[in-house]
């Protein structure tokens, strides 16, 4: 896999959001995230976080608002970790 292919996959992605949830609420959280215009893609994970969301938000204030006002208020969300991608 070339670097060009990987970078094209992340063209619109500026943030990786790891989300830890209570057992059994993965599907409702995934469904809600998929409805959000800020989310480019969302996946379940077996790592430190249960869900990984790729966000297409560039402005750090908008990211903060999205995470605090939307994601952390979802039922069953326990923790989040935000990673900004430098381009």
The domain made up of 3-84 is a member of CATH 3.30.70.920: yes
Instruction: Indicate the pTM of the whole model.
Output: 0.86
pLDDT digits (tens, 9 = 90+) for 6-28: 455 567 788 999 999 999 999 99
pLDDT digits (tens, 9 = 90+) for 29-44: 999 999 999 999 999 9
Phi, psi values for residue 40, rounded to 5°: -80, -40
Query: Residue 19 in contact with residue 29, Cβ under 8 Å?
Result: yes
| Domain residue ranges in the chain | 3-84
Q: Calculate the CA 80 to chain-centre distance.
A: 9
């Amino acid at each position: 896999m070339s670097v060009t292919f990987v970078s094209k996959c992340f063209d619109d992605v500026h943030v990786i959001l790891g989300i830890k949830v209570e057992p059994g609420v993965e599907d409702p959280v995934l469904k809600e995230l998929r409805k959000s215009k800020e989310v480019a893609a969302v996946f379940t994970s077996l790592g430190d976080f249960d869900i990984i969301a790729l966000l297409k938000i560039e402005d750090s204030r908008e990211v903060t608002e999205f995470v605090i006002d939307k994601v952390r208020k979802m039922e069953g969300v326990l923790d989040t970790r935000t990673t900004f991608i430098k381009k």
